[in-house]
Amino acid sequence: MAAFGTVFMPEMALATFENNQWSASRMVPADSLQLHPAAHVFHYSSTCFEGLKAFRHQDGGVYIYRMDANIKRLIQSSQILQLPSIDEKQIADMIVDVVTKFKSEVPEPPGSMYIRPTHMGTEPSIGKAAGASSTSMLFVLLSPVGDYFESGNKPLRVLIDEQGMRCAPHMGMVKSGGNYASALGPIAEARISDKADQVLFCPGGDVQETGAANFILIDGNEIITKALDKSFLHGITRDSLLTIAKDMGMTVRERSISVDELMERAAKPGAEAALSGTAAVLTGVGTLIRDGKEYSVGSGEVGPVTEKLRKALNDIQWGLAEDKHGWLTKV
């Protein structure tokens, strides 16, 4: 299978905001866009996006997972970035329409159709470094995908970074391109210096998240993960897994974890740690690297609770378990 996110459906849904109103959405070719070189997004990074998936069930039906939650987050990101307000119904229709159009291309599990709604400031003005873009473009691009991590389900090596941060503290909950650009340097360095797969950003010792996933610690029947604040992305997979864990009778603790506590708990034989996200689903962390030293998390393998939670989530997404929280939208 081609690398994650490199194959696209030939058309996408697109709408533009001009003269204080949204255009009707339309299908356009997905291999080109026309934008002025002075477009606000190119210079001042006024852009945000979402990542969600549509799954094929055994009955042949196609279902979009937690579309409403992703739309809410896109609306929130747009607000924080001072982009024009998105109409909830219009973006929902755009997502459903484009997925419907390419329904027959949705891969069988474990593959899926990755859906990438994107909203960007397009005003042609390089004088607006400190001003919002008055025009914008919204599109929904589709990419059929398999596994996100090249290593498949192998336990990850994660470098703990206590000095740097992924992005500015007030921007963590915004799914914006600039945040990813800001994390690229530290991640590239960690790959070279420690052969790490990911960096776990823990500014001042506060365990936050990695470059593209949330972090959860599993200790027996307990799941511990940072409580929601502005500093990190409020993952919809995180929310799903915490809900599933509660349904299974596990104790969910949303609170701060220090790196010292993480290291202490990770050293216990049954400890597990994992990264959660739409792309990562739930991927086990086998090794933590702190100040050049390596520490196994529990057995160093992907743990049984991680496997159980991942399967429970996949079963809902794939239509093998009841969707009792109403997370699926049929197209």
Ligand X SMILES: Cc1ncc(COP(=O)(O)O)c(C=O)c1O
Binding residues for ligand X (CB under 6 A): 51, 209, 212-214, 233, 235-238, 276-279
Q: ∠ CA 193-218-152 to the nearest 5 degrees?
A: 55
In the bound complex, what is the minimum distance in angstroms from residue 268's beta carbon to ligand X? 26
**Minimal distance in Å, beta carbon 224 to ligand X?**
17
d(CA 107, CA 97): 18
Q: Which residues contact 257 (CB under 8 A, 6 or more apart)?
A: 206, 207, 217, 224, 225, 226
Q: Which is nearer to ligand X, 233 or 288 (CB)?
A: 233
Looking at the Cβ atoms of 71 and 94, the one nearer to ligand X is 71
Query: 281 Cβ partners below 8 Å, 6+ apart?
Result: 148, 237, 310, 313, 314
Q: How many CB atoms are located within 10 Å of the residue 140 CB?
A: 24
Distances (CA, A) of 19 to 94, 135, 160, 305: 21, 8, 47, 52
Least distance between ligand X and beta carbon 73 (Å): 7
Q: Could you give the C-alpha distances from 241 to 6, 53, 79, 223, 294, in angstroms and in order?
A: 27, 16, 27, 10, 28
Q: Cβ neighbours of residue 271 under 8 Å, at least 6 residues apart? A: 217, 218, 219, 265, 297, 298, 303
39/274 with CB nearer ligand X: 274
Find the shortest distance in angstroms from Cβ 233 to ligand X: 4
Cβ proximity to ligand X, 39 vs 273, nearer residue: 273
User: Of 47 and 122, which CB lies nearer to ligand X in the complex structure?
Assistant: 47
- CB of residue 254 to ligand X, shortest distance in Å: 15
Task: For residues 47 and 182, give the distance between their C-alpha atoms in angstroms, rounded to a whole number.
Answer: 14
Minimum CB separation of residue 13 from ligand X in Å reads 20
Sign of the dihedral through C-alpha 276, 280, 285, 289 = negative
> 237 or 306, CB closer to ligand X?
237
Taking the least distance from each CB to ligand X, the nearer of 25 and 176 is 176
Omega cis (within 30) before 186: no
The CB-of-66 to ligand X minimum distance in angstroms stands at: 8
CB of 27 to ligand X, least distance (A): 26
Which H helix or E strand runs over 201?
A: strand 198-201
**Cβ-based nearer residue to ligand X, 53 or 265:** 53
119 CB burial (10 A radius; 0-12, 13-18, 19+): buried
